[in-house]
Amino acid sequence: MLILLTKWFTRKERSRANTFLILGNPVTVMWMSVVTGYIIKAVGWQMTFIIEGLPSVLWGVVWYFVIRDRPEEASWISPESAATLNTALDLEQATIPRVPNIAAALKNPNVVLLCAQYFLWSVGVYGFVLWLPVIVQKGFSQGIATTGLVSAIPYAFAVFAMLIVSWLSDRASERIHFVWPFLILAGAAFFGSYLSTGYSFWVAFVFLIIAGAAMYAPYGPFFAIMPEMLPANVAGEVTALVNSMGALGSFLGSWAVGFLQGYTGNSKAGYLLMSAAVTLAGASMLLLKRPSRQ
């Protein structure tokens, strides 16, 4: 889907386009955190899976009839507009250094660095996403519905952060400097939660709100880096590889934060792990070399 967007949006729009796509994540988690608790109480967790799965099935039907790979294939855009967009995208491709094949792309140090960076970032994100309700329930000592309501707060802030950061990134035509500062901030906020948990739930939770918003904020600029660094013939495979490393990081983060919570009986060790992971992810972005433009 990220590669699909590169065929529809130019560099000046790419960070925002990515953000509107990825925004589906925090927006859905935000309101479903509230709703899911009530659905489970009403119909049980098994039926909840069915109810929450139906919208994606219905959307698949809409997608089939509306979405097309390229502008010239869509009936809802004029041929003149499609030609203008394709010309602009071709001009952008002409400025990107050539890469003959995927094997050559995988030898690029930037690609290796992006894989490691997204792995670490995902350790923090998915440790946060999957274990936040448990952390809130233990600290807040309320029922599942109230826990869901409180757990939604960080995602509300994340939505605003993503929109603002992507807009600024496109306006400045800059990506790297709209990624690393927010990940460093997220790492510092997790460390603040580590220091304050056990003393005040609400202070620790404020730090979690900051961490959640800061971790989500740079997604749009980050996923604009690869199609602007590598030509179209390899950008898809590289994006898939980076995403795959993120999937491995999400597994490790989900498992490790849960393990540490069970082993220690509290959330502190999990905070420390997420803090270290996203801080390293942010710092690694500073090592990324900007490709020379042709």
Query: What is the average per-residue pLDDT within 135-153?
Result: 68
Over 80: is that where the pLDDT of 53 sits? yes
Q: How far apart are CA 33 and CA 151, in angstroms?
A: 7
Mean pLDDT score across all residues of the chain: 89
Which contacts (CB < 8 Å, 24+ apart) does range 173-179 have?
173/11, 173/12, 174/221, 175/15, 175/221, 175/222, 175/224, 175/225, 175/228, 176/221, 176/225, 176/285, 176/286, 176/288, 176/290, 178/15, 178/218, 178/221, 179/218, 179/221, 179/222, 179/225, 179/282, 179/285
Q: In the prediction, which pLDDT does 49 show?
A: 93
> Band of the pLDDT at 291, cuts 50, 70, 90?
low
> Band of the pLDDT at 293, cuts 50, 70, 90?
low
Instruction: List, in sequence order, the alpha helices (H) in the chain.
Output: 2-6, 11-22, 24-43, 45-66, 79-94, 102-106, 109-140, 144-151, 153-172, 180-196, 201-216, 219-229, 232-264, 268-285
- Answer for the pair 15, 170: CB distance below 8 angstroms, yes or no: yes
Q: In the prediction, which pLDDT does 261 show?
A: 82
User: What are the structure tokens assigned to 109, written together?
Assistant: 């140090």
> Band of the pLDDT at 292, cuts 50, 70, 90?
low
Q: How far apart are CA 97 and CA 255, in angstroms?
A: 40
Instruction: List, in sequence order, the alpha helices (H) in 67-152.
Output: 79-94, 102-106, 109-140, 144-151
Query: What is the average per-residue pLDDT within 19-42?
Result: 86
Query: What is the average per-residue pLDDT within 216-233?
Result: 93
Question: Model confidence over 55-108: pLDDT tens digits?
Answer: 999 999 999 999 999 999 999 999 999 999 999 999 999 989 899 999 999 999
pTM of the model: 0.85
* DSSP label of 23: T
Question: Model confidence over 168-218: pLDDT tens digits?
Answer: 999 999 999 999 999 999 999 999 988 887 788 888 889 989 999 999 999
Q: How far apart are CA 9 and CA 16, in angstroms?
A: 9
Q: In the prediction, which pLDDT does 127 show?
A: 84
